[in-house]
Structure 1
């Protein structure tokens, strides 16, 4: 440890202000890392030389993309470190104006939740690409996700891939079963906890049908093109059709952008993450409220049902049994 690092560490230990202590800790970490950065640069240079200056081969051994290693070698050649030295920030637009620190913290928490959901969506896509046989280097170059992250999220053994057929009858059967479950819960609810669970199921069923099973609300006597002599007659019949209440509910539910771009299975995968988080959420101010207990239970049941559907390609027997 250098003298400057020791000096920063001593100041850090004696600093009572948390904000100043934070910045001192960052500075100490930077100073302590410098010798190791030099050693890493020497090791990288030696490895490239071992490979006869074949940067691509050295990058594969390091678990880096060739572009990343080229960038690091350029920094070394310029006499600097591989880590970029931060420059003064250029602010592209005004920052958000918060009424108080509390509002700012709440906004940050909401942003972190959305970002976490995006990261979890990312893992589903990354694992799907790996299962499809895409070279990890190609994935890293396309997504800017490091090879070390790909190794971290890859499970031991084979990757489990969704068995759901987005165009098969099972997904529509699932939508009808979820809706029937929501109706049954609403009819039998007689406590705040049960009413809360029924509400969650009701709104979830609308979202599931709109995004994954839009045909689930259509009855068996829904207009079929084959029953009409011409396309014009069929179009006129559709325009004259009076939608049911269930169809109106589905039409009023907006379709998520993820569904439109990547399909129903991607939406279900993302929704499973959301429901899992909501089922596990805890709030000291509401833990004793039975309504929150009912909501968490409902989200857990919905997450389990979606996982079963995607893992097996079938509707959970318990969901069918509960609505029969």
Structure 2
């Protein structure tokens, strides 16, 4: 199988015909250059094998004349040299990388960022059109080609439910709990298939892992308080004691400065050393609260600044792309079980995309079928 860059391979499976067409053009150019390089290298090796006699190599390769071979061979070298020597005046110094792996990681991150932007394109354009913007205004504001905007516009635009309001927060919290419970149920059911921990994961375990990662991301990005346990009486009492100490400090400061404005009092409180009783109450409450909720494993994960609907739309596109890649006819399989694993992972991505699509379309918790608990 001929090599292609990962981003070209991924784009060839896209639903967007324009993206597929451009990816095919990129692939054609890349493969032509790749094969041309192989031909030139082979020709050079053949010349060497003939002791540097280009005429003999030209005859063996079927060129009409040594001059025709020399012109072709020289053009190949000139084109490569011209590309390397193309003049460029950089605006600023190059990024500093400690080693090649850092550069590879940075390029991979850049590619993922570009994919994220592409994933948001179609829902963004359709939403702008649905709210009343004209294709010309979309083009003027975003730079998205007018022909692309007009092509994307369907006869009827299905608009997602509003997931940015206060009422939607309850739905997002319930969805987060449902996704988490579903992922745990799948993981529990998959343990029966993992007979030997030294072997690769079973197909069911691979699918469960996809659900687990997606559920954690959903909680972290859209419903961070969904899994926080209910406050116990002990924690509630410590919280009230802490709040009482804050109120006592505020009252003491107001009594000491009866003529100060609220703004001046806030500044005095900010600069004052907190009383020992307040610090002790705060420490007691913080300790009890951390024990109640546990440590957040996703503290280091970046939190999106996007609207929930925008984030979900991008996730759906990403899940569909991942599923298409995993089901690609040219996927590499080491054995039959490897194919089952990839199918299970693709199925998980497809189910997640369907669940998120239901949430976006209806504004309700998606129905999930957990093992032993059909809904």
**1:136, distance to aligned residue in structure 2 (A):** 3.0
Say if 2:164 and 2:307, in contact at 8 Å, map to a contact too.
no
1:176 matches 2:226: no
Counterparts of 2:165 and 2:236, CA distance in 1: 21
Please tell me whether the aligned partners of residues 164 and 308 of structure 2 are also in contact (alpha carbons under 8 angstroms).
no
1:143 positional shift: 0.9
Q: Secondary structure at the match of 2:289?
A: coil
Q: Gaps spanning 5+ residues in structure 1: where?
A: 1-16, 23-86
User: CA RMSD of the aligned region, Å?
Assistant: 4.1
- Find the aligned partners of 2:107 and 2:242 in 1 and give their Cα distance: 57
Q: Are residues 90 and 163 of structure 1, via their aligned partners in 2, closer, same or farther at CA, if it must alter by over 3 Å? A: same
Q: Which residue in the other structure is 1:215 paired with?
A: 225
For residues 236-251 of structure 1, the aligned pairs below 5 Å read 236=282, 239-243=286-290, 248-249=295-296, 251=298
Distance (Å, rounded) in 1 between the aligned partners of 2:241 and 2:290: 23
Report 1:1-324 matches (<5 A).
18-19=32-33, 89-92=88-91, 94=94, 114-165=113-164, 167=166, 168=168, 169-189=170-190, 190-191=192-193, 192-221=202-231, 228=240, 231=243, 236=282, 239-243=286-290, 248-249=295-296, 251-252=298-299, 254-256=301-303, 259-260=304-305, 262-282=306-326, 284-286=331-333, 288=336, 289=338, 290-319=340-369, 322=373
CA shift for structure 1 position 232: 5.7
Q: Supply the distance in 2 between the matched residues of 1:155 and 1:304 (Cα, whole angstroms).
A: 21
The answer to whether the 8 Å contact 2:229/2:292 transfers is no
| TM-score normalized by the length of structure 1 | 0.59
Q: Deviations over 1:256-282 (max 9, x none)?
A: 3xx22x222221111111111111213
Q: What is the total number of aligned residue pairs between the two structures?
A: 237
Q: C-alpha distance in 1, partners of 2:297/2:245?
A: 25
- Report which structure shows greater RCO (CA 8 Å, sep ≥6): 2
Deviations 1:172-227 (A, max 9, x none): 110000000111111111330011111111111110100011121022437789x9
Superposed displacement of residue 247, structure 1: 5.3
Q: Secondary structure at the match of 1:241?
A: helix
